Structure 1
């Protein structure tokens, strides 16, 4: 029997880690030769590319490809992880109008210099940032690096203002594409900072990883 080779498109559900998906695929397909191209956090859902056998040879190509996401950003909250799973640093009412929110979203395109999330694999002093977080340590703010990140085709899909929301929160749904090394959490955090109220990722879905889309998963 010929070994399995290729790229398997998976629509990862919320709650599973990328490693969980790989482990399940290894059991189902009966092979250990499986990796993935681009981690998705447990909070996120959507397209995860599994590389099987000879498929691992295209890993660099797929990892370097641009990706497209649909972001649910909750305004009025800032957390240490820049997503809803983190410790809340501050909460305050959203006073921006819909037009001000639209303008702030439209401005956050192109190559931006943003602060890297604390809960990330970026290394500082030889240690990954998430290792500091897991040990309850926080590096000095001035040593958490900034990074150039590129976002494009940023589209505001939907806005739920606090006055119309049963939970009293303001959420924006934004679709965007980004280059390798760009953090959607950093984008959401920066949107909140620009609006003066804080912002954090409440939901995230990867809908494309060039050249594949989640519709084909």
Structure 2
């Protein structure tokens, strides 16, 4: 896939925000508490108890849940650009169902691609796993079964930046900084989403943060293609 030949109108940019499935470790039943302790044993070592480590549970699909999925897509008409944002939020099963419908109804052509930062290792598999957990039909764009690597319709801005260096991790915050893109992390960061969701009960703040990440991902792809960055006047929030 040649970057310069990518049609930006065929790409759905996305980001997800996740939290632990429950507010506290004590809310888990005994079996799930033991499974959590076993899952995180080698990461925690002796530094944290399973209880203390639980706020990080949102990074595992087996112990976390999605609170919002933000998407963005670019429309090019008569020399003007319009980057439209939409967020699915609320009860997780509804979020996943609505997102799946979007893919099936509007981004189901062979040329359509999904793009996220570290999406191949986090966003795409996390969404797919949570859909299976909720017994929801997996959209074709998220199903990798039987596909060759080059047939999977996923773009990952972190992978593109690696240029083949697979031991290299670059955060969205760092990459926007070095590329001269406004940072999306001007309010909260990923590590704070748990507290904002369960303590502050401020889902809208998380949504705004998620949408800024989607814009940043699109900006990174534009920079990699050596095209002009989006202006604020070209970005809008819409209903689909």
TM-score of the aligned structures, taking structure 1 as reference length: 0.24
TM-score of the aligned structures, taking structure 2 as reference length: 0.23
Q: From the two aligned structures, give the one with the greater helix fraction.
A: 2
Q: From the two aligned structures, give the one with the greater strand fraction.
A: 1
For CA contacts below 8 A with separation 6 or more, give which structure has more relative contact order.
1
